Structure 1
Amino acid sequence: MSSISAYGATIEVTQAGVYITPSRLAQALEHVPHLVPIDRITGATELSPPTAYSLGEVELTGTTEVIRFAPGQAANMTTLIDAVTDAVQGNAPALVPGLHFVGVDVETANADWGSICQIGVVRVTDGMQVDSHEWLCRPPAGIDHFDEGNIRIHGITPDMVTDAPDFAAVFPEVVAYVADQVLVAHNAQFDLTAFSRACHATGTPVPHWKFACSLAASRAAKLGITSHRLPVVAQHLGVELDNHHDAVADARACAGIFVQLALRAHATGDIETVFTTLGFSLGDLNTERIYPVLSNPPTVTVAGGRGHADGAAAPTPARSAPKSARWAKAATPTTIPDPNPDADPNHPLFGHVITLTGDFEPYDKGELWEKMAAVGATVAKNVTKKTTMLVMGPWDSVTSKQKRAEELISKGQNIEMWQSMRLFTALGLDPTADDAADDDEPPF
């Protein structure tokens, strides 16, 4: 698969469609890389040829997309027209040769990550989405109640799963669908932990799965966006997401994001090779535990995406940010506020002993502690035998506090596991889309 230089952009034509990467200057003017899907294109029409003094133009027939060519790029224009014609006829090269995986997403009924009520999967071959499937199911017994907050997010109600099979019945079908493929999820630690907890709750064998994370990869890609939530990243990369919080729609978007990140990094090969190129090693789910996705030392940074028609310099070695900066955002304050004894006892946080772990942008922990105490919660720095709730902000790996909470839960302690957006909602906080934390509740 070769790149075609156009005026202010680099074009690549694949089985999926025409991928347009604006130059750095064009991106600075808010032109973003995007894919024009092949099923929307009926051909390529020359509107005007480039001359010695003027630009030429090609329209992707069936769309409003017009690609311009500079003087002297007439041969490139012909190459594009021929490539699009081949793609429309089904003769284009693979999108990302060798990249095979299964995108996955789950929806949960309540705050327990194991309360799976919907599973969506999409099969990717050579970077192309070739098949998808979804299952509605009853969550495992004992954690099968539906919280109003979760229903508001995904729209799945108890009545919708009344006649559905339970998790233990559908999960073997999921395992068969995945087979020996690597999984990719957006915030994979959540989805894989959900599978693990649901399996243990139902006595279902835990599969041995390798997995990658599109959330971690999108953060590392330096996309220039302030939130890495699934819809924000999808929109930025031109990936379709038509029904956020539907499991199969989210799985498709997650898969699309991962493929686009591979394209931007010029990554080819199998999923492990691509994920390594993006800066990470695969995570691992097994019967004993979940080994998280871990970052590898960066090798190169591709400035501005996949290549530039404006003569951008070759990639240069990336510099690691000071480690202290990342940890500073999650630093624990020193002064713990006292709980308000006169707070409303019906508040969902009243009486809870709560520990925070991870990153809570755009808020700092001291601010959240004050608000938690004001509604009657007891703030604790660490997870102990008195802990009744752990609230988790985004982080690149499983924190020691989360590990301790899961250990105590396995021994019978009742600890609610919340994501940061649920805490924000309970405290009446409404971060804007630009400043929002990277996860929803549940984290997709």
Structure 2
Amino acid sequence: MVLARRMLSLPTYRLPYVIEYLGGSIDDHHNPLADARAVVDVVGRLAVANGASSLDELTRSAGVQVGWMARGIYKGSVAISRGGDSRLVQPALNLNADADGYLFGRVVVFTGTLMSMIRQIAWEECARIGATAEKDTTKRTNVLVVGDINPAVLRPGSNVTGRTRRAFELQAGGQKIEVMTEDDFLRCLSGKPLAGAEALLSEVI
């Protein structure tokens, strides 16, 4: 998914759509073996399309750091941002965005490293669904998306990012700021309902 988001421009990055776009197919989506084979096919087709002869060459060209697993440890693949937040460009809001979308009309701030996309793409995805992304947590902020931060550490006195700390301060002053994981954010982009997004700051305050 990280490679597809970096290398393709698609309306959705669900596995069946990506594999079909690249000229392949998947017969039994959600079957673990079928999904695994489809992922291998996607990576192979991306490599061929970009003239890469190895996974390492493909990920370097796409600006992606491959994740890894060990006993009790999982580090997902991440898109490597070049230049950080300083080069972010505010995209134009989609005037035809669904007004009933969960994030429509909201001001979103990201903190931590996103696994699925670089920050600029996250901003563009916000604009696509009618939300405004901003760099810093302010009195306008009402959604904070946490990337590779363990939600369990989001409590007063914890060693958290400056954006999260500022969110605590605003929350204490009565501002409503919803905190959601990257997975929740991706569900919002796909138009999927949230069973109850994580209002973690509200709970700890």
* TM-score for both structures, normalised by structure 2: 0.49
Higher relative contact order (CA 8 A, sep 6+): 2
More helix per residue: 1 or 2? 2
Between structure 1 and structure 2, the one with the greater Rg is 1
